[in-house]
Amino acid sequence: MSDYIVEMKHITKSFPGIVANDDVSIGIKKGEIFALLGENGAGKSTLMSILSGMYEPDEGEIYIRGEKVQISSPNHAANLNIGMVHQHFKLVEDYTITENITLGIEPIKRFAGLFPYVDIRNANRKIEELSKDFGLEVDPTKKIADLTVSMQQRVEILKVLYREAEILIFDEPTAVLTPQEIDFLLGIIEGLRNSGKTIILITHKLEEIKKVADRCAVLNKGKLVDVLDVKTTSVNLMAQLMVGREVSFESEKVPAQFKEEVLKIEHLTVKNEDGFEVVKDVSFTIRSGEIFAIAGVADNGQVEIADAIAGLTKVSNGKIFLEGKDITNESIRNRTEIGISYIPEDRQSYGLFLDFDLSTNLALKQYYKEPFSSKGILNKDVFEQFGSKLIDQFDIRSGQGIKTQVRSMSGGNQQKAIIAREIELQSPLMIFVQPTRGVDIGAIENIHNMMIQQRDQGKAILLVSLELEEIMNVADTIGVIYNGQLQKVASSESLTTNEVGEYMMGAKHE
């Protein structure tokens, strides 16, 4: 009899084209925080999906509390006291916290012993007790739509706890949180462990693991590399094992050399579809050779600033100047021509035509010009030559070269294709919105290097990112946004991560 509460032995799971898990064996002790570390596509989510009943393994056995089980559905997993806190919340926006948590297992009472109804008062009380027990105070009668992201996450955690989970799986829980919220969450996770729960933490952020985890399994390309004792292992070694080679955390940067002003924003105000001001009176400038990063929690107006500069969103007030020219009312195409490259946040619905082939997508910003077309007739040969050139130059990997349907490419390579296309425009201003979202560590390093390279060539770069680490790493100047307003603009050397975090929360402003 082992002392493991969960044991997964020789798990193999493959999908068409890839082996997601290759003979992975792990054992998790009761009452520990066990971290699963790996790049995107390393197989950590697949492994946990198997444990939570979403997939069945092709091979291998699972033991829960020493008993062999076959977990056939998420409900079955719930019966085994396994619960998963998903990265993308699965909540009904218009329902209250209680309604969301009890959904599917509502406490039923019968009116006059006959007509069933949901005993919401009782449920509210139960949830309030539960949330106090675990330090996750919430108001159970509030609607999800009115909650902040971190509150919504609490609801997700409560949902799992309400179902009496003993084994909690957290899937990249900190991806959407500010540094302060992350600290709070990690505190909660430790609290859960101290009250006897077993925690499995899926993440690719090393410092979190270092902070809270007891042990850590490293996966690389579907294979288990090692199981480490976190206390005695250095962060560098973990990173090396995860990537399979040495990685430098600090991007190599020569000191910035700012030259002439490229972009100037004056009193920019942007309204969203409902008429609310999502960007309020924002002014800043970006110079040639400068990486200007906008830091902020998601949905604080930063994407709208980028869209307004690129022309995708209407400006309701203020002016935008590019190299001294007022472009506030120019069309999107004219802005591209005048000199804006834009790597959008949502690469699949904005940046690419997923059903078109790679060469077409690479030529997307130039197809209407010579030599891609003349007199309105497309020249497919030029598309192909151009595509092949970029594929070589930027090492874009795809199944069938330029003919590959972009839909079938990996996220990292889709992103590379967009960046290649936009760099090729040689625009004086480049806008990167979340350029490394969903991209693995090796590619992140690559993208950061490309940005710095472009900066050194004299481009002005606007970076919008939710990853504070990324911003601290590559930015020369940081502007922190909260609730549509720039709270602080300062050089990156003069700010600490914690300060930026405080500005992001709106807790501190000038």
Partner 1 sequence: MNKDKKKKSLSYRLFWPIRNEKWQPISIPVASILISFIAAAIVILLLGKNPLQAFYNLFQGAGIFPKSSYAGYKSILTDFLSLLNAMTPLVFASLAVAVALRAGLFNIGVSGQMLVSGFLATVIVGYSGLDAIIAKPLVLLVGIVAGGLMGGLVGWLKYRFNIHEVVSTIMLNYIAQYVISFFIQMYYVDPVSRQSKYISEEARLTLVNVEIANLKMDIPLGFILAIIIAILIKFLMDKTVVGFEIKAVGSNRKAAKYTGINVGRNTVLAMIISGGLAGLAGVTYYLGYFSSIQPKVLSSIGFDSIAVALLGNAHPIGIIFSSFLVSIIDQGSTYMSSQAGIRQEIASVIIGLILLFSACGAYVKHKVSRLKEKEEDRKDSES
Site for partner 1 in 36-75 (CB under 8 A): 58-59
- Min separation Cβ 349 and partner 1, Å: 5
3-state secondary structure of 6: strand
Minimum CB distance to partner 1 smaller for 227 or for 425: 425
334: how many CB neighbours lie within 10 A of its CB?
12
Which helix (H) or strand (E) covers residue 487, if one does? Answer: strand 485-491
- Min separation Cβ 422 and partner 1, Å: 11
- Min separation Cβ 9 and partner 1, Å: 17
Q: How far apart are CA 383 and CA 369, in angstroms?
A: 11
Give the range of 107-115, 168-176, 329-337, 481-489 binding partner 1 by CB under 8 A: 329-337
Does position 490 interact with partner 1 (CB under 8 A)? The reply is no
Does position 275 interact with partner 1 (CB under 8 A)? The reply is no
3-state secondary structure of 450: helix
Own/partner pairs, 274-279, CB within 8 angstroms, 24+ separation: 277/316, 277/484, 278/304, 278/484, 279/304, 279/305, 279/308, 279/484
Give the range of 169-177, 326-334, 393-401, 502-510 binding partner 1 by CB under 8 A: 326-334
Give the range of 23-31, 106-114, 240-248, 354-362 binding partner 1 by CB under 8 A: 354-362
- Min separation Cβ 256 and partner 1, Å: 29
Does position 158 interact with partner 1 (CB under 8 A)? The reply is no
3-state secondary structure of 418: helix
Place of tokens 């999502």: 278
Q: Cis bond leading into 107, ω under 30°?
A: no
Does position 15 interact with partner 1 (CB under 8 A)? The reply is yes
The one-letter amino acid code at 325 reads: K
Angle, alpha carbons 16-20-21 (nearest 5°):
135
Does position 336 interact with partner 1 (CB under 8 A)? The reply is yes
Minimum CB distance to partner 1 smaller for 258 or for 367: 367
Place of tokens 């942007």: 270
- For residues 370 to 409, the per-residue mask of contacts with partner 1, x marking binding by CB under 8 A and - elsewhere, is ---x--xxx-------------------------------
- Min separation Cβ 11 and partner 1, Å: 12
Q: Closest Cα partner for 412 from 450, 369, 371?
A: 450
Two tokens, residue 219: 């996966």
Among 159, 193, 365, 448, binds partner 1 (CB under 8 A): 365
Does position 16 interact with partner 1 (CB under 8 A)? The reply is yes
Site for partner 1 in 301-320 (CB under 8 A): 310, 312
Two tokens, residue 64: 């829960």
3-state secondary structure of 310: helix
Q: Closest Cα partner for 466 from 179, 81, 227, 274?
A: 179
Does position 364 interact with partner 1 (CB under 8 A)? The reply is yes
Please give the DSSP secondary-structure letter assigned to residue 196: T
Please give the DSSP secondary-structure letter assigned to residue 251: P
Q: How many residues of this chain bind partner 1 (CB under 8 A)? A: 31
Does position 368 interact with partner 1 (CB under 8 A)? The reply is yes
Does position 251 interact with partner 1 (CB under 8 A)? The reply is no
Give the range of 209-217, 229-237, 347-355, 426-434 binding partner 1 by CB under 8 A: 347-355
3-state secondary structure of 191: helix
Give the range of 123-131, 187-195, 297-305, 346-354 binding partner 1 by CB under 8 A: 346-354
Among 10, 132, 333, 403, binds partner 1 (CB under 8 A): 333
Q: Where are the alpha helices (DSSP H) in 355-486?
A: 358-362, 380-394, 411-424, 441-456, 468-474
Please give the residue ranges that form the binding site for partner 1 (CB under 8 A).
14-16, 19, 58-59, 310, 312, 331-333, 335-336, 342, 344, 349-356, 364-365, 367-368, 373, 376-378
